[in-house]
Amino acid sequence: MFIDIPSGLEAALIDLPLPTWKLEGSFLAESTMEWYRTELKATPRFEETAATLRRALTGEGGGYAVLRLGNLAKALGPDDDRFLRLVTGFAAEVAVPFSPFPRWPLWKDIGVKVDKDPGKSSGIGYNAFHMDLVNGTLPPDYTTLLCVRPDPLGGGTSILSDAHAAVARLAKDSRALLAESVYHYGTFFDLFGVGEECKPFPVLDGSDPGAGFVRFTGKMPERSDLGQAHADAARELAEELVRGQVSLILQPGDYLIVNQRRFLHGREALRSGQETVPVADRRLLLQLFLRARADADSAV
What are 28-78's pLDDT values in tens digits?
999 999 999 999 999 999 999 999 999 999 999 999 999 999 999 999 998
Q: Is residue 194 part of a domain?
A: yes
What's the whole-number mean pLDDT along residues 3-29?
A: 96
CATH number (domain holding residue 117): 3.60.130.10
What share of the chain in percent tops pLDDT 90? 87
In 3D space, the residue among 189, 186, 170, 172 whose CA is nearest the CA of residue 223 turns out to be 186
pLDDT for residue 134 is more than 90: yes
**Helix, strand or coil, per DSSP, at residue 7:** helix
pLDDT for residue 267 is more than 70: yes
pLDDT band at residue 265, thresholds of 50, 70 and 90? very high
Q: How many domains does the chain have?
A: 1
8 A C-beta contact, residue 255 and residue 71: no
- The single-letter code of the amino acid at 245 is Q
User: What does the buried/exposed string (b/e) look like for 117-155 if buried means 16 or more CB atoms within 10 Å of the residue's CB?
Assistant: eebebbbbeebbbbbbbbbbeebbbbbbbbbbbbbbbeb
pLDDT band at residue 300, thresholds of 50, 70 and 90? very low
Residue 296: what pLDDT? 61
pLDDT band at residue 299, thresholds of 50, 70 and 90? very low
Q: Is residue 89 part of a domain?
A: yes
What's the whole-number mean pLDDT along residues 233-241?
A: 97
Q: Is residue 206 part of a domain?
A: yes
pLDDT for residue 92 is more than 60: yes
Task: Please give the residue that has the higher pLDDT: either 137 or 224.
Answer: 137
In 3D space, the residue among 210, 220, 133 whose CA is nearest the CA of residue 182 turns out to be 220
Q: Is residue 164 part of a domain?
A: yes
In 3D space, the residue among 289, 187, 203, 188 whose CA is nearest the CA of residue 238 turns out to be 203
**Average pLDDT score over the chain:** 94
Q: Is residue 207 part of a domain?
A: yes
Domain that holds residue 13: 2-291
pLDDT band at residue 79, thresholds of 50, 70 and 90? confident
Q: Is residue 300 part of a domain?
A: no
In 3D space, the residue among 180, 222, 211, 199 whose CA is nearest the CA of residue 134 turns out to be 199
Give 156-210 pLDDT, tens digit per residue: 999 999 999 999 999 999 999 999 999 999 889 889 999 999 989 999 987 777 7
Q: Is residue 298 part of a domain?
A: no
Residue 205: what pLDDT? 85
Q: Is residue 126 part of a domain?
A: yes
How much is the pTM? 0.95
